[in-house]
Amino acid sequence: MISKYSTPGTEIAPKVAGLKPFKAKEGASIYNIACALSIEACQATANGMKEASQALGYKYEQCDSGSSPEAPGQCFTNAINAKPDVIIAQAVGLNQAADGYAAARKAGIPIVAFGTGDKADGTVANIQIADQLCHDQGKILADAIAEDSDGKANVLFLGDTAIACDVSRTKGFEDQLKQACPDCDYNKLIFDLNTMQQSLPPQLQAELNKNPNINWIVGANDAPAAVAVTQVMQAGKQDQISVAGMDGQPSNVTFMLKKQVQKFDLTNPFADAPWSAVDAAARIYSGEEVPKSLQSPNYLLTWDNVKSLGPSKTYNGPDDYQEQYKAMWGKS
């Protein structure tokens, strides 16, 4: 498992899935309901969707669903009022906006779901992009930690309930750790995403004092993982505790390049993945069939392969991903 996910792919997700080139219809409008844009990964994914839309000549709008607990539902309302041709729900699932999904269906607006973890049976959205991505990321990281610790990990997992993907990652990690490492210890700390920078450090300090045997801290995304790196170093426990995160953010990659506490990061192609969501939207708008599910490849970053990211410190997918997509759309 670890070897499989430590090697990057060379083809864009639609090609891997066997989807065929098509002539993209002109003049669509796309509305992206983005996950919390205060998180680097959410912002990067939204930027990718905007770039892909512009490459198609499509109108693009977005709404930040992470600005408040009520924001996901309000973003759906805003999207429906904008009357786009396709809505993209970016890591905003039924658990956050069930009424919004129902309203969009009633309005007859197709939905492309991205990283929500909802069922890929056509009842929630026309297509689920990376519907198992987040759950699989949690599983892969659990396997990596079980292997690295030789079955003796004492894990503190930092999770939140504000992002559907993080909830799915947490569940995937918990389930897989039980199987891969039955003798490992596991505890979970739920933090508030909106107050994380202020509230998480003292929460972490309290946990480290309460459980001095912790040797792994795992963030449901890279933001809490970065906080953990700082707290571990301030506590002088960098030789005892390793950190893992998910999203492959440049700041976390920098920790890994320096072999500075963070040992693993789980990422998917930041450029390829959002373009695959826009590709699906273009197919729907152009009258093409889309599968109910399309997966996005994962990449496990380790101290051994992290230098492969180069100066950008970001895994974008195949080097020629833009050209591959434009060829798919008849725009090369």
Query: For position 258, what pLDDT does the model report?
Result: 96
Query: For position 165, what pLDDT does the model report?
Result: 86
Query: For position 155, what pLDDT does the model report?
Result: 98
pLDDT in tens, 24-50: 999 999 999 999 999 888 999 999 999
pLDDT at 332 > cutoff 80: no
What does the mean pLDDT of the chain come to?
Answer: 94
184-197: burial string, b at 16+ Cβ within 10 Å, e else: bbbeebebebbebe
Percentage of residues of the chain with pLDDT beyond 90: 84
More confident of the two residues 134 and 189? 189
Model's pTM, two decimal places? 0.79
Query: For position 45, what pLDDT does the model report?
Result: 93
pLDDT in tens, 252-296: 999 999 999 999 999 988 889 999 999 999 999 999 999 999 988
Residues 6+ apart with CB under 8 A from 62: 31, 32, 33, 34, 46, 49, 50
